Structure 1
Amino acid sequence: MADRTCIVTGSTLPRDQLIRIVSGPDGVAVVDLAEKLPGRGVWVTNSAVALRRVADRGLLRRSIDAKFDDIESTLEQVGQLMRMRAMATASMARRSGALIGGAGKLLAEGGFEGLLAAPDASEREFRKLSSRLEVTWTSRTFDSEALGHICGRPSLAFAAIRGGKAQKMAEKLRFELMRLERFYATSACHVR
């Protein structure tokens, strides 16, 4: 993955730590999360603070001749889109059989790459599962309702994604979760 330079900080970072912004046909800046929109784009560090600085300093006007209409609504929309992408990736993993929900099933099966735990889940159970499953990363991004929604239940405290054949799916889910967590400046997926 090629490195890019943030227009706010000037630091060179890998693309997974940046957000791409392009100019729309009407001169309004568009956040390109899929990195597929046409045209020349600029890269900004993946955080709400960095996007605010871009808007406040008028950096987009100089680089791609664009501006954000309303930065607050843009920040809210970007956060929602990132959350939707992460949930869609997790749902796709569940439908393919790569994501399994429920602490009992996880302990019975094993062989997982990452562990997803609701923030309100038992800390003791979380430590026990992450230790026994020997996962390489953990995330506490989704609450129990969101995890339940992904797995087709009312609520769920724990889910895990397999490695092995589902490695690409696990990497994609980790990427989307890290991107979402970085945007809100919480701790990203914890590499073990």
Structure 2
Amino acid sequence: MLAIADPADLDQGPRTNRSATARMCAVTRQVRPIGELIRFVVSPSGEVIADLKRKLPGRGLWISASHAAVAEAVRRNQFSRGFKRDVRVPASLAEDTRQLMVRSAMDALAMVAKAGQVVAGFAKVEDALLRRQAVALIHAADGAADGIRKLDAAVRKIAGQSGEAREIPVVTALNSAELDLALGRANVIHAALLAGPAGRTFLQRSQTLVRYQDGGQRQDS
């Protein structure tokens, strides 16, 4: 059962969110799990910013975690009404929030690389698949379809040979330039996550990013 906090638009600060598992979206007026919402706060300079980690000080306004919902909140002037004061709301807030999510996913992938839990390059990814070491595939969002098809076929072939019904998550949340920056190398199109806790954080953040971009509908990466 969801622990629903005060249904008022604004929370009383980050400490009040620790026990709550649900909040009301200021746009849709629907109560949703906080994992499906984004908390927004007002910075000291009076500008509305996304608080992805739900830890920034001050009262927070909650919006459904989708690009469309945040854009609608901006269009409706929902932030000034919700915070009950004049605040500066960038017209680009929905896209700014998406970029924060991209950065968050990139930071998580960089930690995966630092932990030695990722390999990159078609041959290394294919080898990790054959050795049953890969727990997830990463394809650049702008990668060529041919390479993606070949690796997907390798996954199906391995599953068929072993008789396993094991599904390997496929992440397409980041483009090649973003993968390059996260992994500290050039021309990354394909990569594979290896087992380890750092990879789980990256998968969670990637899923959040994809849901945001797709309107909160897709659950895969």
TM-score by length of 1: 0.81
What is the CA-CA distance between 1:135 and the residue it aligns to? 4.5
More strand by share: 1
CA deviation vs aligned residue, 1:33-62 (integer Å, no higher than 9, x gap): 121101221211112221122122233233
Matched, 1:147 2:176: no
| Residue in structure 1 matched with residue 150 of structure 2 by the alignment | 125
| Bigger Cα Rg | 2
**Is residue 2:119 matched to residue 1:100?**
yes
Would you say the 8 A contact 1:3–1:15 is kept in 2?
yes
Partner of 2:91: 72
- 1:5–1:190 distance in 2 versus 1, CA, 3 Å: same
**Residue equivalent to 2:138:** 116
| Partner amino acid, structure 1, of 2:173 | T
- 3-state SS of 1:190 partner: coil
Unaligned 5+ segments in structure 2 are 1-19, 160-165
Question: What SS does structure 1 have at the residue aligned with 2:186?
Answer: coil
TM-score (norm 2): 0.72
- Once the two structures are superposed, what CA deviation does each residue of 1:156-178 show, in whole Å capped at 9, x if it has no partner? 22112123xx1x32221122112
Cα distance, 1:70 vs. partner? 4.2
Counterparts of residues 29-108 of structure 1 (less than 5 Å): 29-66=48-85, 69-108=88-127
Q: How far did residue 129 of structure 1 move?
A: 4.3
**Post-superposition offset of 1:5:** 2.2
- The answer as to whether partners of 1:20 and 1:32 remain within 8 angstroms in 2 is yes
* 1:188 CA displacement: 4.3
1:137 aligns with 2:156: no
Counterparts of 2:85 and 2:47 in 1: how far apart (Å)? 5
Deviating above 4 A after TM superposition, structure 1's stretches of 4 or more consecutive aligned residues are 186-189
- Distance in 2, matches of 1:68 and 1:49, equals 20
**Aligned-residue CA RMSD in angstroms?**
2.6
Q: CA 1:152/1:22 → structure 2, altered by over 3 Å: closer, same or farther?
A: closer
Calculate percent identity across the aligned residue pairs: 25
Post-superposition shift, 1:3? 2.5
Asked if 1 retains the 8 angstrom alpha-carbon contact of 2:63 and 2:69, the reply is yes
Number of residue pairs the alignment of both structures matches: 188
Equivalence for 2:4: none
Unmatched tracts of structure 1, length 5 or more? none
Q: Counterpart of 1:190 in structure 2: which amino acid?
A: D
Q: Which residue of 1 aligns with 2:189?
A: 157
